[in-house]
Chain A
Amino acid sequence: MADDILSTIIGTPTASTVVTVERGQLALFAGAVKDDAPEYRDPRAAADAGLPGIPAPPTYPFVMGNFGAYPELQPADAPTGNPMGAVLGPLMAKGGIILHGEQEFLYHRPVFAGDVLEGKGLVVDAYQKESKGKTMTFVVVETAWTDTTTGEPVCTSRMNIIHRV
């Protein structure tokens, strides 16, 4: 039963990752999203804009877990293996495709080069809709990023994944 899958995945932790935010990666990412703003490349330009450091472009939090997650930084209690795979596996077993439906970021402050941030991900919701003879399963994953030095929240990323079969 599909509903059984939904009730098992809500509340599943998807990640617990500590990342260092590196200056070179921010400039590279800014270039990739066609942003030539000097604030992403030159600390003097960032200071002129009133920023305490080189900031990350707005969508960088989506990818920052892919970089700078060095092994010695990782919490001992981090989920092991591929938790997202475990969440989506029972759905993918039915065939169909996975789509990124929606994405939201809430920023308490910008992410800056030199930050060491911890991201904790959780499946916060899962629900189904029937549409044009297809079953659409929505899985909402929220990742809360906090500053490991101050403990303060930095950014919350909310991703809505759609499985359509």
Chain B
Amino acid sequence: MRPATVRTLEEQNMADGVLYFEDVAEGDEAPVLTHTLTRTDLVAYAGASGDFNPMHHDEVKATAAGQPSVFGHGMFSMGLLGTAITDYVGVGNVTRFTVRFARQTWPDEELHSVIVVTGTRTEDATHLIDLDVRLVNAAGEEKVVGEATAKVPARG
């Protein structure tokens, strides 16, 4: 759900690159990560993940199986969204990340992250922020939809 007003990154005090709990408010949006998918991305992900399902790198086999072309690994989409999340909350701070795979991704599609703060809470002196996370294409079609929680530092 998109809030009526969106605070700029300057208003969120992210100038020094660290997201502090006090500076996060419900409705805040994370910086958008944009990436246009290439076949090379899929080959690189296959090698780095060990997932050599030919539907993701072998155009001949993919088209023989009735697909218009190779298509992206769902876990590449989740990984790309993970990159957008850690860019925002800080590397090593994610405590939960869950998604549903809604649609396949295709080479040449422009993918972008949509990350919105849905809540902030403090449990046992741990400061947590809850996020609604999505990866969508340029037409706004949802590829991956989910939630994440991160533990972030307080200014103290």
The count of chain A contact residues (Cβ–Cβ below 8 Å) is 34
A63 touches B49 (CB 8 A): yes
Chain A 91-110 interface mask (CB, 8 Å, partner B; 1/0): 00000000111111111001
With contacts A32-B47, A66-B50, A102-B100 known, is A37 near B94, CB below 8 A? no
Total interface residues in chain B, CB < 8 Å:
33
Contacts of A40-70 to chain B: CB distance below 8 A: 40, 46, 49-51, 55, 57-59, 62-63, 66-67
Shortest Cβ distance from residue A98 to the other chain B in the assembled complex, whole angstroms: 10
Q: Are B48 and A103 in contact (CB under 8 A)?
A: no
Q: Is B30 in contact with chain A by the CB < 8 A criterion? A: no
Return chain A residues, CB-CB under 8 Å to B47: 28, 32
- Known A37-B86, A57-B79: A107·B94 in contact at CB below 8 Å: yes
Pick the residue among B41, B96, B97, B100 that contacts A101 (CB under 8 A): B100
In angstroms, Cα B80 to Cα A107, docked, is: 18
Indicate which residue in A34, A39, A107 contacts B96 across the interface (CB closer than 8 Å). Answer: A107
Residue of B nearest to A104 (CB): B98
Q: B42-53 CB contact bits vs A (8 Å, 1 = yes)?
A: 001101111100
Q: Is A76 an interface residue (CB 8 A)?
A: no
- Interface stretch (choices B4-12, B70-78, B117-125): B70-78
Interface residues of B in 82-108 (CB under 8 A from A): 82-83, 85-87, 90-92, 94-101
Given contacts A59-B75, A102-B98, contact A32 B44 (CB under 8 A): yes
- Interface readout for A118-140 with B: 1 if CB under 8 Å, 0 if not? 00000000000000000000000
In the complex, how many angstroms separate the beta carbon of A68 from the nearest chain B beta carbon?
11
- In this complex, the member of A25, A37, A67, A105 whose beta carbon has the largest number of chain B beta carbons within 10 angstroms is A105
> Which B residues lie within 8 Å of A105 (CB)?
94, 96-98
B35 in contact (CB, < 8 A): yes
Within 8 A of A (CB), among B7-64: 33, 35, 41, 44-45, 47-51
Q: Please provide the chain A residues from 12 to 45 with a CB less than 8 Å away from any CB of chain B in the complex.
A: 25, 28-29, 31-35, 37, 39-40
Ordered by A's residue number, 19 sampled pairs between the chains whose C-beta atoms are within 8 Å are: A29-B48, A31-B48, A33-B45, A34-B35, A34-B83, A37-B87, A50-B153, A55-B92, A58-B94, A59-B79, A59-B82, A66-B51, A102-B99, A103-B75, A103-B78, A105-B94, A105-B97, A106-B95, A110-B92
Using a CB–CB cutoff of 8 Å, the interface residues on chain A facing chain B are 25, 28-29, 31-35, 37, 39-40, 46, 49-51, 55, 57-59, 62-63, 66-67, 99-107, 110, 158
